[in-house]
Amino acid sequence: MLLSIQDLKVSFRMGKVDGVAQRADAVKGVSFDVPENSIVALVGESGSGKSVTAMSILNLLPDNAERQGRILWQGKDLLQTALPELQTLRGKDIACVFQDPMQSLNPVFTVGAQIVEPLVKHLGLTKKQALARAEELLVEVGMPEPKRRLHAYPHEMSGGQQQRVMIAMALACEPKLLIADEPTTALDVTIQRQILELVGKLKDKHRMSVLFISHDLGVVGEIADHVVVMRHGVIREQGPVAGIFASPQDDYTKALLACRPSLTENPPRLMVIDDHIAGKGAGHAAKAKDPDAPVVLEVRSLAKSFFIKEGLFGKREFKAVQDVNFRLRKGHTLGVVGESGSGKTTMGLSLLRLHEPTGGEVIFEGKDLLKLSDAERQHMRRRIQVVFQNPYASLNPRFTIGQTLVEPMEIHGIGQDTAEREQRARELLGKVGLDGKAFGKYPHEFSGGQRQRIAIARCLTLNPDVLVLDEAVSALDVSVQAQVLNLLKDLQDEFGLSYVFISHDLAVVRFISDEVLVMKDGRVVEQAGAEQILAAPREDYTKRLLAAIPRGYQPAAA
């Protein structure tokens, strides 16, 4: 057995309260094996203990962590291994790929320098030999123009390319075990598909094992041999991937499988974990949409170009958005889907003039938003609000949640006084499923899903007509994603909100949208009703996006 984890317990010392030492138990007696030449998936929501379990293997945990049990690496207990020996294992025999490559790659070093480092350190190669090997590794992970990319910096690459660099670094010393911690979570479905196929191909080529960590059973069903399902620090179920998908035994596993939007069924609401476990239904059905509802936003020939400096005096035009047209009705949702670089986010930000468009019209209440004066635009801006992808970056860490919600009302003169604004803020927190205690807390005290609810509540303080949601659920667990999508439908029913919902995931877009725009290279290549796009896509590009969506374990054809 390559790796055997036996009765692993991990707790964190949390200081003292009234002289009594406080501890938080993150992992509570976990046991599973990783055989040679296999892919084992650890699956669960945020806070389930899956990443803590994986990081315990090489002791990549904070200083306040305490581990008990046994972690046997080829028969040797890593919990009893001295730090110098662990450092020899790290990167050489056991390598890691993390969720966010921009947090893992050093921004001041070239990609080549970062791939070269483990080759020189662990294998003793010369700089010239290491550079040649680094280029070979970039070729192996499918990097375009590998020789040129060696001299590029991380910020000059897309998210998918950055993740390929991380995988190249991890493979540099041909490890026996690759720990992949949510390596595809925030990537487009097409890039995600490429990364999954790459990991599977490299596993077969190098006969290495992979410990693949994810919150999405649909993803791991396509790549794993064995699945371990965790919740609240314990294993709820484990077994071969075929058995987990064909006949899951634990209610939590069944709930994880049920809460993801489907390409074949489109219920009015998504099941959430706790309701599924409690045997409850998905709740009330959504209101029927009025096909003749008034148009609240009309976009005509919208265009946005960026100008890139070339040479000493020259510049080159990059057309990020070209000739986009659509009409958005009251209480309806327009889904905008496409890969990274397709122009969907630039289009959304151009509607709000957070990017200044270079052409076209955005008609709202009979006025072209692109021609408003600064004063008119300030007044109109509160009517069209935006929710960004990353709730960790969009909330001010120095403001309490109450301050975050009250400030926009003060700026726009909503409410008679502070007491009335605070009352409205508390009511909106209740609307998005948070209790009154949240009012005095800070953003770091909340999970990602809760922060996204707070960001939505902040938008609602201004009584908007239109929300632009830019990848607002793409970085969330599938269970939290289901809660936020249901919340958006509830708010739309209650307030008559109209959404421009930007996403790379067609399954999510299908669930929430009435009409869908498919974008590629800044242009709309297909536009139709959500059901029609799924049932009969016309364009090859749309078909590729659909084909890339993870569908879980599929038995091999006889």
**Cα distance between residue 151 and residue 105, in whole Å:** 14
Q: Report whether 263 contacts 507 (CB < 8 A).
A: yes
Interacting residues of 276 by C-beta distance below 8 A, sequence separation 6+: 251, 254, 255, 258, 259
Strand partners, 211: 40, 179
Q: Return left, alpha or beta for 260; rule: phi > 0 is left, psi -120 to 50 is alpha, else beta.
A: beta
Q: Which domain holds residue 462?
A: 295-548
Q: Report whether 552 contacts 253 (CB < 8 A).
A: no
DSSP code for 171:
H
DSSP code for 443:
G
pLDDT at site 555: 66
Tokens of 9: 């317990």
Q: What is the mean pLDDT of each run of 10 residues along the chain (558 residues)?
A: 95 84 91 95 89 93 93 94 89 86 86 92 90 91 87 84 87 90 78 84 89 87 93 95 92 87 79 79 68 93 89 84 95 92 90 91 91 83 86 86 93 89 92 86 84 89 92 80 88 92 88 93 93 89 87 63
Tokens of 43: 């699956």
The verdict on residue 271 lying in a domain is no
Interacting residues of 363 by C-beta distance below 8 A, sequence separation 6+: 297, 298, 299, 300, 369
Strand partners, 298: 327, 363
The verdict on residue 432 lying in a domain is yes
The verdict on residue 116 lying in a domain is yes
Q: Are strands 94-97 and 177-181 parallel, antiparallel or unpaired?
A: parallel
Do both 318 and 461 map to the same domain? yes
Count up the domains in the chain and report the number. Answer: 2
The verdict on residue 435 lying in a domain is yes
User: Can you give the CATH number for the domain in which 305 is found?
Assistant: 3.40.50.300
Do both 161 and 302 map to the same domain? no
pLDDT at site 262: 77
Burial class (CB in 10 A: 0-12, 13-18, 19+), 394: middle
**Cα distance between residue 386 and residue 367, in whole Å:** 20
Mark which of 128, 156, 172 sits at the end of a domain: 172
Tokens of 379: 């007044």
In order, the DSSP letters of 286-345 are: PPPP-TTPPEEEEEEEEEEEEEEEETTTEEEEEEEEEEEEEEEETT-EEEEE--TTSSHH
Do both 163 and 299 map to the same domain? no
**Cα distance between residue 42 and residue 217, in whole Å:** 10
The verdict on residue 66 lying in a domain is no
The verdict on residue 530 lying in a domain is yes
Mark which of 172, 188, 212 sits at the end of a domain: 172
The verdict on residue 81 lying in a domain is no
**Side-chain half-sphere exposure of 241, counting CA atoms within 13 A:** 22
Nearest to 48 by CA among 207, 193, 234: 234
pLDDT at site 241: 93
**Cα distance between residue 305 and residue 343, in whole Å:** 10
pLDDT at site 186: 65
Give just the sign of the alpha carbon dihedral 415, 416, 417, 422.
negative
DSSP code for 437:
G
- Residue in the structure block whose two tokens are 């599929």: 554
Interacting residues of 219 by C-beta distance below 8 A, sequence separation 6+: 184, 192, 196, 550
The verdict on residue 272 lying in a domain is no
Strand partners, 304: 321
pLDDT at site 558: 40
**Cα distance between residue 91 and residue 87, in whole Å:** 8
Mark which of 172, 200, 226 sits at the end of a domain: 172
